């Protein structure tokens, strides 16, 4: 793992040293109360050889680690915090802070709250995302965020493949909302184990 603190203070960990990085990027987002080191250690192993992983540290301090926003369930998200976290990622991409001008594809992998952020990024700018992996995560149920779901058909999320892995209890309301939203707005593939990650990412490298 190759940690770096960028000029804006973003703390990140790369899966490869600079001279070995490929032109297919996988952005990796940790769960609330977790760390960039933890998500890199657990999930970089699933990245295909053709990809470069970049784990990004969230902006809010938590009791343990960091969080992307200060709310932790799908129905009571703080919209300004959520959209700020999304723009934090996109602004860094647009300003080439991550060196993304050299990448031909961007895939997302999010765990827990990181999956909520990943689906938010997909809703805000679907044309920028090639595919998405969510692990034990949720989709935010918010009317203002839902306004992004009715965008231009040419840039719709419905063309985006999503692998949604649930290893925990799927009977809670957040799981039901996530399933309904993903079914309606993406090309959903569901799985129960992490073994599906590598073949999915490999298939969607473009």
pLDDT, tens digit (0-9, with 9 covering 90-100), for 117-133: 999 999 999 999 999 99
Confidence of residue 150 (pLDDT cuts 50, 70, 90): low
pLDDT for the residue 92: 78
Can you tell me the mean pLDDT for 75-100? 84
Residue 19 belongs to what domain range? 2-203
Which candidate, 170, 177, 40, 59, places its Cα nearest to that of 109? 40
- Predicted confidence at residue 75, as pLDDT, reads 77
Say how many domains are in the chain: 1
Provide CB contacts within 8 A for 128, sequence distance 6+: 90, 93, 106, 121
Lowest mean pLDDT across 34-38, 57-61, 134-138, 167-171: 167-171
pLDDT at 106 over 80: yes
Task: Indicate yes or no: pTM above 0.85.
Answer: yes
Tens digit of pLDDT for each residue in 1-25? 999 998 778 899 999 999 999 999 9
- Predicted confidence at residue 200, as pLDDT, reads 98
pLDDT at 169 over 70: no
Confidence bin at 160 (pLDDT 50/70/90): very high
Cα torsion 159, 161, 167, 172 to 10°: value is -10
* DSSP-derived secondary structure letter, 146: H
Helical axes 113-124 vs 79-94, angle rounded to 10°? 70
For residue 13, which of 71, 50, 55 has the smallest C-alpha distance?
A: 55
CATH number for the domain spanning 42: value is 3.40.50.1820
């Amino acid at each position: 793992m190759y940690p770096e603190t960028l000029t804006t203070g973003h703390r990140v960990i790369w899966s490869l040293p600079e001279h070995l990085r490929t032109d297919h990027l996988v952005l990796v987002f940790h769960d609330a109360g977790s760390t960039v080191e933890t998500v890199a250690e657990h999930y970089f192993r699933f990245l295909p050889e053709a990809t470069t992983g970049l784990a990004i540290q969230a902006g809010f301090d938590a009791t343990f680690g960091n969080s992307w926003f200060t709310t932790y369930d799908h129905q009571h998200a703080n919209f300004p915090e959520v959209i700020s976290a999304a723009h934090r990622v996109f602004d860094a991409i647009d300003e080439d802070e991550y060196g993304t001008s050299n990448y031909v594809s961007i895939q997302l992998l999010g765990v827990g709250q990181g999956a909520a952020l990943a689906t938010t990024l997909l809703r805000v700018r679907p044309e920028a995302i090639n595919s998405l992996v969510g692990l034990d995560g949720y989709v935010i149920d918010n009317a203002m965020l839902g306004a992004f779901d009715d965008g231009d058909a040419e840039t719709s999320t419905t063309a985006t493949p999503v692998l949604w892995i649930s290893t925990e209890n799927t009977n809670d309301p957040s799981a039901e909302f996530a399933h309904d939203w993903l079914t309606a707005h993406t090309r959903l593939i569901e799985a129960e184990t992490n073994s599906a990650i590598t073949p999915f990412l490999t298939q969607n490298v473009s």
